[in-house]
Amino acid sequence: MIPIRLRRSLLLLLMLMSVGSIFFATANGSVSLDWFEWLGALKDPGSQHGELLWRLRLPRAMSAWVVGSMLAMSGCLMQVLLRNPLADPYVLGVSGGAAFATLLGMVFGVAVAFLPWLAILGALISILLVFGLARGTGPWSGTRLLLTGVVTASGWAAMISLVLSLSPDNSLRGMLFWLMGDLSYANLPSWSLAVLGGSFILTLGLARSLNVLAMGETTARLLGESTQHMLWLVYLLASILTAAAVSVAGSIGFVGLIVPHLMRLLVGSDHRILIPAATLFGGLFLVFSDSLARTVMSPQQLPVGVITALLGVPLFLLLLNRARLKGV
Amino acid sequence: MTTLACQSLDVSIAGKSICLKLDMILESGQFWGLLGPNGIGKTTLLKCMAGLFAPDNGSVLLENQAIDKLPRRQVARLLGMLQQHTVYIFDASVFETAMTGRHPHLAYWERESSQDRQKVHAAIRAVDLAGFEERSVTGLSGGEARRLAFAALMVQEPAILLLDEPANHLDMKHQIRVMNLVEALVDNQQRCAMIAMHDVNLASRYCDHILMLFGDGGWLAGAASELLNQQNLERLYQCGVETVQTPAGLRFLPGG
Protein backbone atom coordinates (compact mmCIF):
# COMPACT_ATOMS: atom_id res chain seq x y z
CA MET A 1 0.00 0.00 0.00
CA ILE A 2 1.14 3.52 -0.66
CA PRO A 3 1.01 6.11 2.16
CA ILE A 4 -2.37 7.74 2.81
CA ARG A 5 -1.22 11.24 1.86
CA LEU A 6 -0.20 9.99 -1.60
CA ARG A 7 -3.48 8.23 -2.33
CA ARG A 8 -5.26 11.36 -3.49
CA SER A 9 -2.36 12.24 -5.76
CA LEU A 10 -2.73 8.76 -7.23
CA LEU A 11 -6.34 9.55 -8.16
CA LEU A 12 -5.18 12.69 -9.93
CA LEU A 13 -2.51 10.70 -11.74
CA LEU A 14 -5.06 8.08 -12.80
CA MET A 15 -7.32 10.83 -14.14
CA LEU A 16 -4.49 12.25 -16.25
CA MET A 17 -3.58 8.76 -17.42
CA SER A 18 -7.21 8.18 -18.42
CA VAL A 19 -7.14 11.25 -20.65
CA GLY A 20 -3.76 10.15 -21.93
CA SER A 21 -5.08 6.68 -22.72
CA ILE A 22 -7.94 8.14 -24.78
CA PHE A 23 -5.43 10.27 -26.70
CA PHE A 24 -3.16 7.28 -27.23
CA ALA A 25 -6.04 5.14 -28.44
CA THR A 26 -7.44 7.72 -30.82
CA ALA A 27 -4.08 8.76 -32.27
CA ASN A 28 -2.82 5.27 -33.09
CA GLY A 29 -4.03 2.73 -35.60
CA SER A 30 -3.86 2.07 -39.31
CA VAL A 31 -3.33 5.82 -39.76
CA SER A 32 -1.34 7.38 -36.94
CA LEU A 33 -1.98 11.01 -36.06
CA ASP A 34 0.57 13.30 -34.45
CA TRP A 35 -0.45 15.86 -31.83
CA PHE A 36 -1.34 18.62 -34.35
CA GLU A 37 -3.21 16.34 -36.71
CA TRP A 38 -5.11 15.01 -33.73
CA LEU A 39 -6.10 18.49 -32.52
CA GLY A 40 -7.12 19.43 -36.07
CA ALA A 41 -9.25 16.32 -36.38
CA LEU A 42 -10.87 17.07 -33.04
CA LYS A 43 -11.81 20.60 -34.18
CA ASP A 44 -12.99 19.60 -37.65
CA PRO A 45 -15.17 16.48 -37.56
CA GLY A 46 -15.89 16.87 -41.30
CA SER A 47 -12.29 16.34 -42.43
CA GLN A 48 -10.87 12.96 -43.31
CA HIS A 49 -9.00 12.70 -40.00
CA GLY A 50 -12.03 14.12 -38.24
CA GLU A 51 -14.23 11.33 -39.58
CA LEU A 52 -11.69 8.76 -38.46
CA LEU A 53 -11.47 10.29 -35.01
CA TRP A 54 -15.11 11.07 -34.35
CA ARG A 55 -16.82 8.16 -36.06
CA LEU A 56 -14.41 5.29 -35.44
CA ARG A 57 -11.78 5.80 -32.80
CA LEU A 58 -13.38 8.09 -30.24
CA PRO A 59 -16.57 6.00 -29.86
CA ARG A 60 -14.47 2.89 -29.43
CA ALA A 61 -12.01 4.43 -26.98
CA MET A 62 -14.72 6.09 -24.92
CA SER A 63 -16.73 2.88 -24.82
CA ALA A 64 -13.66 0.95 -23.74
CA TRP A 65 -13.14 3.40 -20.89
CA VAL A 66 -16.74 3.20 -19.75
CA VAL A 67 -16.85 -0.61 -20.00
CA GLY A 68 -13.55 -1.03 -18.13
CA SER A 69 -14.75 1.31 -15.39
CA MET A 70 -18.04 -0.51 -15.03
CA LEU A 71 -16.36 -3.90 -14.82
CA ALA A 72 -13.85 -2.72 -12.23
CA MET A 73 -16.55 -1.13 -10.07
CA SER A 74 -18.72 -4.20 -10.38
CA GLY A 75 -15.78 -6.38 -9.35
CA CYS A 76 -15.20 -4.30 -6.20
CA LEU A 77 -18.88 -4.62 -5.30
CA MET A 78 -19.05 -8.38 -5.96
CA GLN A 79 -15.99 -8.97 -3.78
CA VAL A 80 -17.63 -7.18 -0.87
CA LEU A 81 -20.99 -8.82 -1.55
CA LEU A 82 -19.60 -12.34 -1.47
CA ARG A 83 -16.78 -11.47 0.97
CA ASN A 84 -14.53 -13.30 -1.40
CA PRO A 85 -11.46 -11.81 -3.03
CA LEU A 86 -11.90 -14.22 -5.95
CA ALA A 87 -15.33 -12.93 -6.98
CA ASP A 88 -15.57 -11.19 -10.34
CA PRO A 89 -18.48 -9.50 -12.16
CA TYR A 90 -19.35 -12.69 -14.03
CA VAL A 91 -19.41 -15.16 -11.15
CA LEU A 92 -23.16 -14.90 -10.58
CA GLY A 93 -24.19 -15.60 -14.17
CA VAL A 94 -25.08 -12.11 -15.41
CA SER A 95 -22.76 -12.32 -18.39
CA GLY A 96 -23.88 -15.89 -19.14
CA GLY A 97 -27.47 -14.79 -19.62
CA ALA A 98 -26.35 -11.89 -21.78
CA ALA A 99 -24.07 -14.10 -23.88
CA PHE A 100 -26.72 -16.75 -24.45
CA ALA A 101 -29.29 -14.18 -25.60
CA THR A 102 -26.78 -12.47 -27.88
CA LEU A 103 -25.54 -15.68 -29.49
CA LEU A 104 -29.10 -16.81 -30.06
CA GLY A 105 -29.72 -13.45 -31.74
CA MET A 106 -26.68 -14.00 -33.97
CA VAL A 107 -27.92 -17.45 -34.97
CA PHE A 108 -31.28 -16.03 -36.01
CA GLY A 109 -29.63 -13.17 -37.89
CA VAL A 110 -30.80 -10.32 -35.67
CA ALA A 111 -29.36 -6.96 -36.84
CA VAL A 112 -26.10 -6.01 -35.11
CA ALA A 113 -27.68 -2.83 -33.72
CA PHE A 114 -30.19 -4.84 -31.73
CA LEU A 115 -27.70 -7.24 -30.17
CA PRO A 116 -26.92 -5.00 -27.17
CA TRP A 117 -30.61 -4.95 -26.28
CA LEU A 118 -30.75 -8.72 -26.45
CA ALA A 119 -27.71 -8.81 -24.15
CA ILE A 120 -29.43 -6.51 -21.67
CA LEU A 121 -32.55 -8.67 -21.82
CA GLY A 122 -30.60 -11.87 -21.20
CA ALA A 123 -28.68 -10.27 -18.34
CA LEU A 124 -31.87 -8.99 -16.72
CA ILE A 125 -33.49 -12.43 -16.95
CA SER A 126 -30.44 -13.94 -15.29
CA ILE A 127 -30.36 -11.27 -12.55
CA LEU A 128 -34.03 -11.77 -11.72
CA LEU A 129 -33.68 -15.55 -11.82
CA VAL A 130 -30.78 -15.57 -9.37
CA PHE A 131 -32.36 -12.85 -7.24
CA GLY A 132 -35.67 -14.73 -7.02
CA LEU A 133 -34.15 -18.13 -6.32
CA ALA A 134 -31.51 -16.96 -3.84
CA ARG A 135 -33.78 -14.64 -1.94
CA GLY A 136 -36.12 -17.36 -0.73
CA THR A 137 -37.89 -16.53 2.50
CA GLY A 138 -35.11 -16.67 5.05
CA PRO A 139 -32.47 -14.10 5.92
CA TRP A 140 -29.61 -13.08 3.64
CA SER A 141 -27.21 -15.88 2.90
CA GLY A 142 -24.07 -15.13 0.94
CA THR A 143 -23.45 -18.83 0.44
CA ARG A 144 -26.90 -19.40 -1.05
CA LEU A 145 -26.48 -16.44 -3.40
CA LEU A 146 -23.03 -17.65 -4.45
CA LEU A 147 -24.25 -21.20 -5.09
CA THR A 148 -27.37 -20.06 -6.95
CA GLY A 149 -25.29 -17.69 -9.06
CA VAL A 150 -22.49 -20.13 -9.81
CA VAL A 151 -24.89 -22.91 -10.77
CA THR A 152 -26.93 -20.53 -12.94
CA ALA A 153 -23.68 -19.42 -14.59
CA SER A 154 -22.75 -23.01 -15.40
CA GLY A 155 -26.25 -23.53 -16.80
CA TRP A 156 -25.74 -20.59 -19.14
CA ALA A 157 -22.28 -21.90 -20.08
CA ALA A 158 -23.83 -25.19 -21.15
CA MET A 159 -26.48 -23.39 -23.22
CA ILE A 160 -23.74 -21.29 -24.83
CA SER A 161 -21.78 -24.42 -25.77
CA LEU A 162 -24.97 -25.88 -27.21
CA VAL A 163 -25.57 -22.82 -29.40
CA LEU A 164 -21.91 -22.79 -30.50
CA SER A 165 -21.95 -26.47 -31.42
CA LEU A 166 -25.14 -26.13 -33.47
CA SER A 167 -24.15 -22.90 -35.27
CA PRO A 168 -22.89 -22.80 -38.84
CA ASP A 169 -19.11 -22.41 -39.19
CA ASN A 170 -19.23 -18.98 -40.82
CA SER A 171 -20.88 -17.35 -37.79
CA LEU A 172 -18.64 -19.03 -35.21
CA ARG A 173 -15.84 -16.50 -35.49
CA GLY A 174 -18.08 -13.55 -34.67
CA MET A 175 -19.55 -15.44 -31.76
CA LEU A 176 -16.17 -16.35 -30.30
CA PHE A 177 -15.04 -12.74 -30.63
CA TRP A 178 -18.12 -11.58 -28.79
CA LEU A 179 -17.57 -14.14 -26.06
CA MET A 180 -13.97 -13.00 -25.54
CA GLY A 181 -14.98 -9.36 -25.66
CA ASP A 182 -15.15 -7.10 -28.69
CA LEU A 183 -15.44 -3.34 -28.83
CA SER A 184 -15.57 -2.90 -32.59
CA TYR A 185 -19.32 -2.29 -32.75
CA ALA A 186 -19.38 0.20 -29.88
CA ASN A 187 -21.00 3.61 -30.36
CA LEU A 188 -20.23 6.78 -28.41
CA PRO A 189 -21.38 5.82 -24.91
CA SER A 190 -24.57 7.59 -23.88
CA TRP A 191 -26.84 5.54 -21.64
CA SER A 192 -23.93 3.37 -20.48
CA LEU A 193 -22.13 6.53 -19.37
CA ALA A 194 -25.26 7.51 -17.46
CA VAL A 195 -25.38 4.07 -15.79
CA LEU A 196 -21.72 4.42 -14.86
CA GLY A 197 -22.14 7.95 -13.50
CA GLY A 198 -25.25 7.14 -11.48
CA SER A 199 -23.78 3.97 -10.01
CA PHE A 200 -20.52 5.74 -9.23
CA ILE A 201 -22.22 8.46 -7.19
CA LEU A 202 -24.43 5.93 -5.40
CA THR A 203 -21.50 3.60 -4.67
CA LEU A 204 -19.35 6.45 -3.39
CA GLY A 205 -22.17 7.44 -1.04
CA LEU A 206 -22.25 3.86 0.25
CA ALA A 207 -18.46 3.54 0.39
CA ARG A 208 -18.09 3.65 4.16
CA SER A 209 -20.90 1.10 4.49
CA LEU A 210 -19.02 -1.13 2.04
CA ASN A 211 -15.97 -0.97 4.32
CA VAL A 212 -18.10 -2.24 7.17
CA LEU A 213 -19.87 -4.88 5.05
CA ALA A 214 -16.48 -6.25 4.00
CA MET A 215 -15.89 -7.11 7.67
CA GLY A 216 -18.78 -9.55 7.68
CA GLU A 217 -22.52 -9.39 8.08
CA THR A 218 -22.65 -9.61 11.88
CA THR A 219 -19.98 -6.95 12.36
CA ALA A 220 -21.81 -4.72 9.88
CA ARG A 221 -25.09 -5.08 11.75
CA LEU A 222 -23.38 -4.37 15.07
CA LEU A 223 -22.02 -1.19 13.50
CA GLY A 224 -25.47 -0.06 12.45
CA GLU A 225 -26.05 -1.38 8.92
CA SER A 226 -29.34 -2.96 7.96
CA THR A 227 -27.43 -5.57 6.03
CA GLN A 228 -30.36 -7.26 4.26
CA HIS A 229 -31.23 -4.15 2.30
CA MET A 230 -27.65 -3.13 1.77
CA LEU A 231 -26.51 -6.47 0.38
CA TRP A 232 -29.39 -6.72 -2.09
CA LEU A 233 -28.70 -3.17 -3.18
CA VAL A 234 -25.04 -4.04 -3.74
CA TYR A 235 -26.08 -7.14 -5.70
CA LEU A 236 -28.38 -5.15 -7.96
CA LEU A 237 -25.82 -2.39 -8.49
CA ALA A 238 -23.06 -4.83 -9.39
CA SER A 239 -25.37 -6.79 -11.69
CA ILE A 240 -26.65 -3.74 -13.55
CA LEU A 241 -23.09 -2.50 -14.09
CA THR A 242 -22.09 -5.91 -15.43
CA ALA A 243 -25.15 -6.12 -17.67
CA ALA A 244 -24.42 -2.69 -19.15
CA ALA A 245 -20.75 -3.52 -19.71
CA VAL A 246 -21.47 -6.87 -21.33
CA SER A 247 -24.12 -5.45 -23.62
CA VAL A 248 -21.61 -2.95 -25.03
CA ALA A 249 -18.59 -5.18 -25.43
CA GLY A 250 -19.29 -8.83 -24.67
CA SER A 251 -17.73 -10.62 -21.74
CA ILE A 252 -14.26 -9.15 -21.43
CA GLY A 253 -12.42 -11.14 -18.81
CA PHE A 254 -9.89 -10.29 -16.09
CA VAL A 255 -10.62 -6.55 -15.81
CA GLY A 256 -13.25 -7.04 -13.13
CA LEU A 257 -11.09 -9.45 -11.15
CA ILE A 258 -7.63 -7.99 -11.49
CA VAL A 259 -8.22 -4.24 -11.39
CA PRO A 260 -9.91 -4.22 -7.95
CA HIS A 261 -7.03 -6.34 -6.60
CA LEU A 262 -4.31 -4.20 -8.13
CA MET A 263 -5.90 -1.12 -6.62
CA ARG A 264 -6.35 -2.85 -3.26
CA LEU A 265 -2.62 -3.56 -3.24
CA LEU A 266 -1.92 0.10 -3.98
CA VAL A 267 -4.49 2.02 -1.94
CA GLY A 268 -5.84 -0.51 0.55
CA SER A 269 -9.44 -1.45 1.20
CA ASP A 270 -11.07 1.88 2.06
CA HIS A 271 -13.76 2.00 -0.63
CA ARG A 272 -13.85 5.78 -0.57
CA ILE A 273 -10.48 5.66 -2.32
CA LEU A 274 -10.67 2.15 -3.77
CA ILE A 275 -13.86 2.73 -5.79
CA PRO A 276 -12.61 5.86 -7.61
CA ALA A 277 -9.16 4.35 -8.11
CA ALA A 278 -10.53 1.09 -9.53
CA THR A 279 -13.04 2.94 -11.72
CA LEU A 280 -10.33 5.14 -13.23
CA PHE A 281 -7.79 2.38 -13.63
CA GLY A 282 -10.33 -0.09 -15.05
CA GLY A 283 -11.20 2.47 -17.70
CA LEU A 284 -7.68 3.34 -18.77
CA PHE A 285 -6.54 -0.28 -18.57
CA LEU A 286 -9.21 -1.36 -21.04
CA VAL A 287 -8.51 1.59 -23.36
CA PHE A 288 -4.83 0.63 -23.55
CA SER A 289 -5.67 -3.04 -23.95
CA ASP A 290 -8.08 -2.31 -26.76
CA SER A 291 -5.57 -0.09 -28.55
CA LEU A 292 -3.10 -2.95 -28.43
CA ALA A 293 -5.75 -5.40 -29.60
CA ARG A 294 -6.32 -3.18 -32.66
CA THR A 295 -2.70 -2.45 -33.50
CA VAL A 296 -0.37 -5.23 -32.36
CA MET A 297 -1.06 -7.55 -35.29
CA SER A 298 -2.76 -4.94 -37.51
CA PRO A 299 -4.68 -5.29 -39.74
CA GLN A 300 -5.60 -8.44 -37.85
CA GLN A 301 -7.63 -7.53 -34.72
CA LEU A 302 -7.26 -9.57 -31.55
CA PRO A 303 -10.00 -10.14 -29.00
CA VAL A 304 -9.45 -7.54 -26.30
CA GLY A 305 -10.11 -10.15 -23.59
CA VAL A 306 -6.90 -11.92 -24.62
CA ILE A 307 -4.92 -8.70 -24.24
CA THR A 308 -6.42 -7.85 -20.84
CA ALA A 309 -5.37 -11.28 -19.63
CA LEU A 310 -1.91 -11.14 -21.23
CA LEU A 311 -1.26 -7.71 -19.65
CA GLY A 312 -3.17 -8.19 -16.43
CA VAL A 313 -1.92 -11.56 -15.29
CA PRO A 314 1.83 -10.78 -15.22
CA LEU A 315 1.23 -7.29 -13.81
CA PHE A 316 -0.90 -8.73 -11.05
CA LEU A 317 1.48 -11.55 -10.20
CA LEU A 318 4.38 -9.10 -10.09
CA LEU A 319 2.61 -6.71 -7.71
CA LEU A 320 1.34 -9.54 -5.54
CA ASN A 321 4.83 -10.93 -5.26
CA ARG A 322 6.33 -7.55 -4.35
CA ALA A 323 3.63 -6.92 -1.80
CA ARG A 324 4.37 -10.25 -0.19
CA LEU A 325 8.10 -9.56 -0.06
CA LYS A 326 7.39 -6.37 1.86
CA GLY A 327 5.33 -8.40 4.31
CA VAL A 328 2.01 -6.68 3.58
CA MET B 1 -29.15 6.33 32.00
CA THR B 2 -29.15 3.57 29.40
CA THR B 3 -30.66 0.24 30.32
CA LEU B 4 -30.87 -3.12 28.61
CA ALA B 5 -33.63 -5.32 29.95
CA CYS B 6 -34.57 -8.94 29.33
CA GLN B 7 -38.26 -9.59 29.98
CA SER B 8 -39.33 -13.21 30.53
CA LEU B 9 -36.91 -14.13 27.77
CA ASP B 10 -36.95 -17.67 26.37
CA VAL B 11 -33.98 -18.42 24.14
CA SER B 12 -33.15 -21.73 22.56
CA ILE B 13 -30.94 -22.90 19.73
CA ALA B 14 -31.43 -26.11 17.76
CA GLY B 15 -34.08 -27.28 20.24
CA LYS B 16 -31.79 -26.78 23.24
CA SER B 17 -33.01 -24.35 25.85
CA ILE B 18 -30.51 -21.67 26.91
CA CYS B 19 -32.68 -19.73 29.32
CA LEU B 20 -36.33 -19.78 30.35
CA LYS B 21 -38.18 -16.70 31.61
CA LEU B 22 -34.98 -14.70 32.04
CA ASP B 23 -35.68 -11.42 33.79
CA MET B 24 -32.84 -9.02 34.37
CA ILE B 25 -31.86 -5.40 33.85
CA LEU B 26 -28.41 -4.15 32.93
CA GLU B 27 -27.88 -0.62 34.20
CA SER B 28 -25.19 2.01 33.88
CA GLY B 29 -22.29 1.46 36.21
CA GLN B 30 -22.77 -2.31 36.43
CA PHE B 31 -20.14 -4.87 35.51
CA TRP B 32 -21.75 -8.23 34.70
CA GLY B 33 -20.05 -11.56 34.29
CA LEU B 34 -21.79 -14.24 32.23
CA LEU B 35 -20.72 -17.69 33.39
CA GLY B 36 -21.58 -21.13 32.09
CA PRO B 37 -19.89 -24.28 30.79
CA ASN B 38 -18.75 -24.68 27.16
CA GLY B 39 -21.50 -24.81 24.57
CA ILE B 40 -24.22 -23.75 26.99
CA GLY B 41 -25.27 -20.82 24.75
CA LYS B 42 -23.50 -17.79 26.21
CA THR B 43 -22.71 -16.44 22.73
CA THR B 44 -26.28 -16.99 21.53
CA LEU B 45 -27.68 -15.20 24.56
CA LEU B 46 -25.33 -12.25 24.00
CA LYS B 47 -26.39 -12.13 20.32
CA CYS B 48 -30.00 -12.19 21.42
CA MET B 49 -29.35 -9.28 23.78
CA ALA B 50 -27.72 -7.40 20.90
CA GLY B 51 -30.80 -7.96 18.72
CA LEU B 52 -28.97 -10.31 16.35
CA PHE B 53 -30.86 -13.48 17.31
CA ALA B 54 -34.61 -13.81 17.77
CA PRO B 55 -35.82 -15.18 21.14
CA ASP B 56 -38.65 -17.75 21.26
CA ASN B 57 -40.62 -15.62 23.71
CA GLY B 58 -40.22 -12.45 25.67
CA SER B 59 -38.35 -9.35 24.65
CA VAL B 60 -35.11 -7.44 24.94
CA LEU B 61 -35.65 -3.76 25.67
CA LEU B 62 -33.01 -1.14 24.95
CA GLU B 63 -33.97 2.08 26.72
CA ASN B 64 -37.47 0.62 27.13
CA GLN B 65 -37.94 -0.02 23.40
CA ALA B 66 -37.99 -3.45 21.79
CA ILE B 67 -34.52 -3.86 20.27
CA ASP B 68 -35.77 -5.65 17.12
CA LYS B 69 -38.01 -2.67 16.31
CA LEU B 70 -35.22 -0.09 16.59
CA PRO B 71 -33.16 0.85 13.52
CA ARG B 72 -29.77 -0.89 13.70
CA ARG B 73 -28.02 2.46 13.48
CA GLN B 74 -29.70 3.68 16.63
CA VAL B 75 -28.89 0.40 18.40
CA ALA B 76 -25.24 0.68 17.34
CA ARG B 77 -24.93 4.11 18.94
CA LEU B 78 -26.01 2.68 22.30
CA LEU B 79 -24.87 -0.93 22.26
CA GLY B 80 -21.68 -2.56 21.04
CA MET B 81 -20.54 -6.15 21.05
CA LEU B 82 -17.13 -7.76 20.88
CA GLN B 83 -17.57 -11.01 18.99
CA GLN B 84 -15.75 -14.17 19.95
CA HIS B 85 -13.98 -14.41 16.60
CA THR B 86 -12.88 -11.69 14.26
CA VAL B 87 -11.79 -12.75 10.79
CA TYR B 88 -10.30 -10.17 8.46
CA ILE B 89 -10.46 -11.17 4.80
CA PHE B 90 -9.51 -7.93 3.09
CA ASP B 91 -6.34 -5.95 3.65
CA ALA B 92 -7.01 -2.87 5.73
CA SER B 93 -4.78 -1.02 8.14
CA VAL B 94 -5.15 -1.29 11.90
CA PHE B 95 -6.05 2.40 12.01
CA GLU B 96 -8.79 2.09 9.38
CA THR B 97 -10.25 -0.94 11.11
CA ALA B 98 -10.39 0.75 14.51
CA MET B 99 -11.99 3.73 12.77
CA THR B 100 -14.98 1.61 11.69
CA GLY B 101 -16.22 2.06 15.27
CA ARG B 102 -17.21 5.60 14.30
CA HIS B 103 -19.45 4.31 11.49
CA PRO B 104 -22.79 4.48 13.35
CA HIS B 105 -22.07 8.05 14.45
CA LEU B 106 -21.41 9.44 10.96
CA ALA B 107 -23.91 10.49 8.29
CA TYR B 108 -23.73 8.93 4.82
CA TRP B 109 -21.36 11.33 3.12
CA GLU B 110 -19.66 12.49 6.32
CA ARG B 111 -15.93 12.01 6.76
CA GLU B 112 -14.21 11.35 10.05
CA SER B 113 -13.17 14.49 11.95
CA SER B 114 -9.84 15.07 13.63
CA GLN B 115 -11.66 14.40 16.90
CA ASP B 116 -12.58 10.94 15.59
CA ARG B 117 -8.94 10.39 14.69
CA GLN B 118 -7.86 11.31 18.19
CA LYS B 119 -10.32 8.81 19.64
CA VAL B 120 -8.90 6.08 17.40
CA HIS B 121 -5.32 6.91 18.36
CA ALA B 122 -6.26 6.91 22.04
CA ALA B 123 -7.98 3.52 21.76
CA ILE B 124 -5.07 2.01 19.85
CA ARG B 125 -2.69 3.22 22.55
CA ALA B 126 -5.01 1.92 25.26
CA VAL B 127 -4.90 -1.64 23.89
CA ASP B 128 -1.13 -1.47 23.47
CA LEU B 129 -1.11 -1.45 19.66
CA ALA B 130 0.63 1.93 19.26
CA GLY B 131 3.02 1.78 16.31
CA PHE B 132 0.80 -0.76 14.52
CA GLU B 133 -1.48 1.88 12.93
CA GLU B 134 -0.30 1.27 9.36
CA ARG B 135 0.06 -2.51 9.71
CA SER B 136 -2.32 -4.72 7.76
CA VAL B 137 -4.99 -6.49 9.81
CA THR B 138 -4.47 -9.73 7.88
CA GLY B 139 -0.97 -10.01 9.37
CA LEU B 140 -1.95 -9.63 13.03
CA SER B 141 -1.58 -12.41 15.58
CA GLY B 142 -4.70 -13.78 17.30
CA GLY B 143 -4.14 -11.68 20.40
CA GLU B 144 -3.40 -8.52 18.42
CA ALA B 145 -6.55 -8.97 16.32
CA ARG B 146 -8.50 -9.40 19.55
CA ARG B 147 -7.13 -6.18 21.02
CA LEU B 148 -7.84 -4.35 17.77
CA ALA B 149 -11.47 -5.50 17.85
CA PHE B 150 -11.67 -4.20 21.41
CA ALA B 151 -10.16 -0.87 20.32
CA ALA B 152 -12.85 -0.57 17.62
CA LEU B 153 -15.47 -1.18 20.31
CA MET B 154 -13.97 1.57 22.48
CA VAL B 155 -14.07 3.91 19.51
CA GLN B 156 -17.75 3.06 19.02
CA GLU B 157 -18.40 4.42 22.55
CA PRO B 158 -21.54 2.43 23.32
CA ALA B 159 -23.25 2.86 26.69
CA ILE B 160 -23.71 -0.92 26.84
CA LEU B 161 -20.86 -3.28 26.02
CA LEU B 162 -21.40 -6.98 25.45
CA LEU B 163 -18.10 -8.85 25.32
CA ASP B 164 -17.81 -12.47 24.26
CA GLU B 165 -14.72 -13.88 25.92
CA PRO B 166 -12.55 -10.79 25.46
CA ALA B 167 -9.63 -12.51 27.14
CA ASN B 168 -9.44 -15.21 24.45
CA HIS B 169 -5.93 -15.44 22.96
CA LEU B 170 -4.64 -12.82 25.40
CA ASP B 171 -1.64 -13.25 27.64
CA MET B 172 -1.98 -12.42 31.34
CA LYS B 173 -0.75 -8.86 30.97
CA HIS B 174 -3.22 -8.05 28.21
CA GLN B 175 -6.08 -9.88 29.91
CA ILE B 176 -5.67 -7.62 32.91
CA ARG B 177 -5.19 -4.63 30.67
CA VAL B 178 -8.46 -5.24 28.81
CA MET B 179 -10.36 -5.97 32.02
CA ASN B 180 -8.99 -2.78 33.56
CA LEU B 181 -10.11 -0.83 30.50
CA VAL B 182 -13.62 -2.25 30.78
CA GLU B 183 -13.64 -1.51 34.51
CA ALA B 184 -12.58 2.07 33.84
CA LEU B 185 -15.37 2.49 31.26
CA VAL B 186 -17.90 1.16 33.77
CA ASP B 187 -16.67 3.07 36.82
CA ASN B 188 -15.55 6.38 35.35
CA GLN B 189 -17.94 6.78 32.44
CA GLN B 190 -20.99 5.03 33.87
CA ARG B 191 -21.22 2.51 31.06
CA CYS B 192 -22.45 -1.02 31.52
CA ALA B 193 -20.59 -4.16 30.52
CA MET B 194 -21.50 -7.82 30.34
CA ILE B 195 -18.65 -10.23 29.78
CA ALA B 196 -18.97 -13.90 28.88
CA MET B 197 -15.97 -15.60 30.41
CA HIS B 198 -14.60 -18.84 31.77
CA ASP B 199 -12.20 -17.52 34.39
CA VAL B 200 -14.18 -17.46 37.63
CA ASN B 201 -11.38 -15.65 39.43
CA LEU B 202 -11.26 -12.84 36.90
CA ALA B 203 -15.03 -12.62 37.32
CA SER B 204 -14.81 -12.43 41.08
CA ARG B 205 -12.09 -9.82 40.85
CA TYR B 206 -13.90 -7.47 38.46
CA CYS B 207 -17.64 -8.19 38.27
CA ASP B 208 -20.24 -6.80 40.63
CA HIS B 209 -23.06 -8.81 39.04
CA ILE B 210 -23.19 -12.37 37.72
CA LEU B 211 -25.48 -14.27 35.38
CA MET B 212 -25.11 -18.05 35.49
CA LEU B 213 -26.53 -20.36 32.82
CA PHE B 214 -27.03 -23.94 33.94
CA GLY B 215 -27.98 -25.52 30.63
CA ASP B 216 -31.50 -26.79 31.27
CA GLY B 217 -32.96 -23.31 30.86
CA GLY B 218 -32.15 -22.58 34.50
CA TRP B 219 -30.32 -19.38 35.42
CA LEU B 220 -29.29 -17.25 38.37
CA ALA B 221 -28.71 -13.52 38.21
CA GLY B 222 -27.68 -11.16 40.96
CA ALA B 223 -24.88 -9.65 42.98
CA ALA B 224 -21.53 -11.37 42.54
CA SER B 225 -20.95 -11.51 46.28
CA GLU B 226 -24.09 -13.62 46.71
CA LEU B 227 -23.77 -15.90 43.69
CA LEU B 228 -20.07 -16.70 43.58
CA ASN B 229 -19.83 -19.50 46.09
CA GLN B 230 -18.76 -23.12 46.15
CA GLN B 231 -22.28 -24.52 45.89
CA ASN B 232 -23.30 -22.53 42.80
CA LEU B 233 -20.02 -23.08 41.01
CA GLU B 234 -20.10 -26.84 41.61
CA ARG B 235 -23.62 -26.92 40.20
CA LEU B 236 -22.54 -24.74 37.27
CA TYR B 237 -19.43 -26.63 36.19
CA GLN B 238 -20.39 -30.11 37.43
CA CYS B 239 -17.10 -30.58 39.21
CA GLY B 240 -15.69 -30.05 42.65
CA VAL B 241 -14.60 -26.51 43.53
CA GLU B 242 -12.46 -25.40 46.43
CA THR B 243 -12.44 -21.91 47.80
CA VAL B 244 -9.32 -20.16 49.04
CA GLN B 245 -9.36 -17.02 51.08
CA THR B 246 -6.70 -14.58 49.80
CA PRO B 247 -5.95 -11.02 50.89
CA ALA B 248 -7.75 -9.89 47.68
CA GLY B 249 -10.89 -11.89 48.44
CA LEU B 250 -12.26 -15.36 47.70
CA ARG B 251 -10.60 -17.33 44.90
CA PHE B 252 -11.74 -20.62 43.40
CA LEU B 253 -9.77 -23.71 42.41
CA PRO B 254 -10.93 -26.85 40.66
CA GLY B 255 -11.27 -29.57 43.26
CA GLY B 256 -11.70 -33.32 43.17
Q: B5-42 pLDDT, tens per residue?
A: 999 999 999 899 999 999 999 999 999 999 999 999 99
Average pLDDT over residues A177-206: 90
Question: Cβ contacts (< 8 Å) between A218 and chain B: which residues?
Answer: 52, 83
Residue count of chain A, please give it.
Answer: 328
pLDDT for the residue numbered A41: 87
Residue-wise pLDDT tens digits, B54-65: 999 999 999 999
CATH code, A279: 1.10.3470.10
Which distant-in-sequence residues (6+ apart) come within 8 Å of B247 by Cβ?
none
Domain boundaries defined on chain B: 4-227
Best of B74, B88, B91 to substitute, by most chain A Cβ atoms within 10 angstroms, is B91
Q: What domain count does chain A have?
A: 1
CATH topology of domain B4-227: Rossmann fold (3.40.50)
Q: Report, as an integer, the average pLDDT of A42-68.
A: 90
Residue B84 contacts A where some CB pair is shorter than 8 Å:
no
Identify whether A116 is part of a domain: yes
Confidence of residue A328 (pLDDT cuts 50, 70, 90): very low
**Assigned domain for A197 exists:** yes
Residue spans of alpha helices (H) in chain A? 4-27, 35-43, 48-51, 58-81, 94-107, 115-135, 142-166, 169-180, 191-205, 207-213, 217-222, 227-249, 255-267, 271-295, 304-325
pLDDT, chain B, mean: 93
Residues of A in contact with B103 (CB under 8 A): 208-209, 211-212, 223-225
Inter-chain touch B96–A219, beta carbons under 8 Å: no
3-state helix, strand, coil in chain B (%, to 5): 35, 30, 35
What residues in B contact A83, CB-CB < 8 Å? 89
Inform me whether the C-beta atom of residue A216 falls under 8 Å from chain B C-beta atoms. Answer: yes
- Give A97-152 as a 3 state SS string: HHHHHHHHHHHCCCCHHHHHHHHHHHHHHHHHHHHHHHHCCCCCCHHHHHHHHHHH
User: Which chain A residues contact residue B100 at CB under 8 A?
Assistant: 211-212, 215, 223
Q: Is some CB atom of chain B closer than 8 A to the CB atom of A225?
A: yes
Residue A133 has pLDDT above 90, yes or no: no
Nearest Cβ partner for B103 among A79, A208, A214: A208
Task: Please give the radius of gyration of chain B, using alpha carbons only, rounded to the nearest integer.
Answer: 18
* Contact call for residues A76 and A260 (beta carbons, < 8 A): yes
Closest to A252 (Cα-Cα) out of A305, A292, A186:
A305
Pick the residue from chain B with its C-alpha nearest to A209.
Answer: B103
A138 confidence band (pLDDT: 50, 70, 90) = low
The answer to whether B235 contacts chain A (CB < 8 Å) is no
Chain A hits for B148, Cβ within 8 Å: none
Please give the mean pLDDT across all residues of chain A.
89
Whether A299 is covered by a domain: the verdict is: yes
Cα separation, A7 vs A270, whole angstroms = 11
Q: Residue window 145-204, chain B: list those with CB within 8 Å of chain A.
A: 156
